[in-house]
Amino acid sequence: MSGNLAWWIEIPVALLLVLSGLFALAAGVGVVRFKTFFQRMHPPALAYSFAAWCVTLASIVYFSAQDDKLALRSWLIIIFLSLTVPVTTILLARTELFRRRTAGGGSGRSGDEIPPALNQELI
Amino acid sequence: MTPLLFGAIVFAQACFALAMGLALVRLLRGPSAQDRVLAMDLICTLAMLMMMVLAIRYRSSMYFEAALLIAVFGFIGSAAMAKFLLRGEVIE
Amino acid sequence: MRRLFPSPLLSLALVALWLLLNNSFGLGQWLMALLLGWLVPWLTHSLRPTPVRFSHPWVALRLFFQVGRDVLVWNWRVLKGTVAPADKVPQGGFVVVPLDLRDPNGLAVLAAIMCVIPGTIWSELALDRSALLVHMFDMDDAQAEIDLIKHRYERPLMEIFE
């Protein structure tokens, strides 16, 4: 293990970490703040996309500089996330639509209406 | 490790922890079950990011294994719960 | 060659994934990666009913960078909307996008794109694949967003997969 890294490596790593922290925090704020379920589904995508990219890029830069070889391993995390996030998101969106339609009626709040089904026979 | 990088790491970890706490609020309060699943999924992803920051902090790539495991189990858990809410059966 | 490697792209992806996962490029890992890249697509061939027709790699590369840029732009918009003062919080809503893309693989890629980009959520697809229900974070100009989805993502995907 080499000792301290050059300072010009540490600056981009630190910057990326701060950015990812801010975006993850915004995701948490959005999940609590918004009033309707579908509006709440958008902020976590901040954590899944930009925050995850920043952390991964930071760790690639850091470990590549530390071990003097390209450490692309954490790239797997991004690949994996981009495969799994759509599955979870679509399942949750389908769940909300299905449950709200079978329960009938919305919460009565404006902007919280559920649109009619594209496939009427399936709900 | 310079104070700059250490400060950035601590800041990122604090942000992740705070975001997890906010998601926990939604998890406990959430009016519908799918709100809770969404919050749980966000907590899993944030835990995974936390692991990757810990890997940088302790200069050990061992934490990547933990991050991958959390990602896998978080995904399976969220998908199974959403599937259950969708039809009432996990395996059809 | 076709019989040995029913889907060469999947084989390549598996080799790359195995080498990345092990983080070493020794002879043993290469042999294992090649074995995996040959065996897994061959064994799971019958699980993939619709063959992937992939053409125009340059269009695919351009689409990849386009999506990357849009993710950054939408991240910024959603971040701004999230921390906006209470009277300026964007009102989301549903839009129905008419679809011309019919290939299931292309639709799967479109779904992945819509979900990775914050601000758009793929909610429902009509059974005959003629329309798509999307929830938008920000409903300032719904028609422009529909045109953007059709022009930016659907047209390249139709070129690539059809």
Q: Are residues C15 and C90 in the same domain?
A: no
C2 in a domain, yes or no?
Answer: no
Nearest alpha-carbon partner for A40 in C139, C94, C74, B30:
B30
Please give the biggest Cα pair distance in chain A: 66
B15, B53 Cβ separation under 8 angstroms:
no
Question: Mean per-residue pLDDT for A15-23?
Answer: 93
**Chain C contact for A71, CB < 8 A?**
yes
| pLDDT score, position B89 | 63
| pLDDT score, position A7 | 77
pLDDT tens-digit readout, C102-144: 888 888 888 888 888 888 888 888 888 888 888 888 877 778 8
Q: Is the pLDDT of residue C162 over 70?
A: yes
Q: What mean pLDDT value characterizes chain A?
A: 82
Domain ranges in chain A are 7-103
**Which of chain A's residues have a Cβ under 8 Å away from the Cβ of C25?**
none
Exposed / middle / buried, residue B58 (Cβ in 10 Å: 0-12, 13-18, 19+):
exposed
Nearest alpha-carbon partner for C135 in B48, A34, A66:
A34
C94 in a domain, yes or no?
Answer: yes
Strand (E) or helix (H) holding A123: none
Is C30 strand, coil or helix? helix
| pLDDT score, position B19 | 94
Angle at B43 between CA B39 and CA B49, to 5 degrees: 145
In CATH, B3-87 is 3.30.450: no
Q: Are residues C25 and C62 in the same domain?
A: no
**Chain C contact for A32, CB < 8 A?**
no
Phi, psi of C35 (to 5 degrees): -60, -45
pLDDT tens-digit readout, A101-111: 777 655 555 55
Q: Is the pLDDT of residue A1 over 50?
A: no
Name the residue among B67, B72, B79 with its Cβ closest to that of A87.
B79
Sign of the CA dihedral running A77, A85, C92, B32: negative
| pLDDT score, position B2 | 82
Name the residue among C79, C119, C123 with its Cβ closest to that of A23.
C79
Domain count, chain C: 2
Nearest alpha-carbon partner for C41 in C10, C77, C12:
C10
In angstroms, the Cα distances linking C145 to A40, A95, C125, C134, C140 are 20, 25, 18, 10, 9
Q: Is the pLDDT of residue C84 over 90?
A: no
C14 in a domain, yes or no?
Answer: yes
C1 in a domain, yes or no?
Answer: no
| pLDDT score, position B65 | 87
pLDDT above 70 as % of chain C: 98
Question: Mean per-residue pLDDT for C43-60?
Answer: 79
Q: Please count the other Cβ atoms lying within 10 Å of the Cβ belonging to residue C31.
A: 10
Q: Which string of DSSP letters, residue by residue, matches C44-82?
A: TGGG--SPP----HHHHHHHHHHHHHHHHHHHHHHHHHH
Check residues A119 and C12 and name the one with the higher pLDDT.
C12
Q: Are residues C104 and C138 in the same domain?
A: yes
C100, A87 Cβ separation under 8 angstroms:
no
Q: Are residues C75 and C125 in the same domain?
A: yes
**Chain B contact for A14, CB < 8 A?**
yes
Dihedral in degrees, nearest 10, Cα atoms A44, A46, A50, A54 = -60
Question: pLDDT-derived band of residue C60, with 50, 70 and 90 as boundaries?
Answer: confident
Q: Which string of DSSP letters, residue by residue, matches A66-113?
A: HHTS---TTHHHHHHHHHHHHHHHHHHHHHHHHHHHHH-S--S-TT-P
Whole-number Å distance between alpha carbons of B78 and B45: 11
pLDDT tens-digit readout, A60-114: 999 888 887 777 888 888 888 888 999 999 999 888 888 887 776 555 555 567 7
Which stretches of chain B are DSSP H helices? 3-29, 33-57, 62-87
Range 77-116 of A in CB contact (< 8 A) with C: 79, 82-83, 85-86, 89-90, 93-94, 97, 111, 115
Q: Is the pLDDT of residue C48 over 80?
A: no
What is the domain extent for residue C26? 8-47
Q: Please count the other Cβ atoms lying within 10 Å of the Cβ belonging to residue B90.
A: 11
Interface with chain A: mutation pick from B1, B4, B38, highest number of A CBs within 10 Å? B38
| pLDDT tens, N- to C-terminus, chain B (92 residues) | 788 889 999 999 999 999 999 999 999 987 888 899 999 999 999 999 999 999 989 988 788 889 989 999 999 999 998 888 887 766 65
Angle at C51 between CA C45 and CA C52, to 5 degrees: 120
Q: Are residues C76 and C38 in the same domain?
A: no
Q: Are residues C36 and C82 in the same domain?
A: no
Q: Is A17 in contact with B71 (Cβ distance < 8 A)? A: no
Q: Are residues C140 and C67 in the same domain?
A: yes
Q: Is the pLDDT of residue A8 over 90?
A: no
ipTM: 0.87
Nearest alpha-carbon partner for C125 in A84, A101, A90, B37:
A90
Whole-number Å distance between alpha carbons of A11 and A8: 6
Range 11-70 of B in CB contact (< 8 A) with A: 11-16, 18-23, 25-26, 31-32, 34-35, 37-39, 41-42, 45-46, 48-49, 52-53, 55-56, 59, 61, 64, 67-68
In angstroms, the Cα distances linking B15 to A28, B47, C81, C113, C130 are 9, 12, 19, 27, 43
Helices C8-22 and A75-103 sit at what angle, rounded to 10 degrees?
110
| pLDDT score, position A111 | 56
C12 in a domain, yes or no?
Answer: yes
Q: Is the pLDDT of residue A123 over 60?
A: no
| pLDDT score, position A2 | 47
| pLDDT score, position C22 | 80
B42, B68 Cβ separation under 8 angstroms:
no
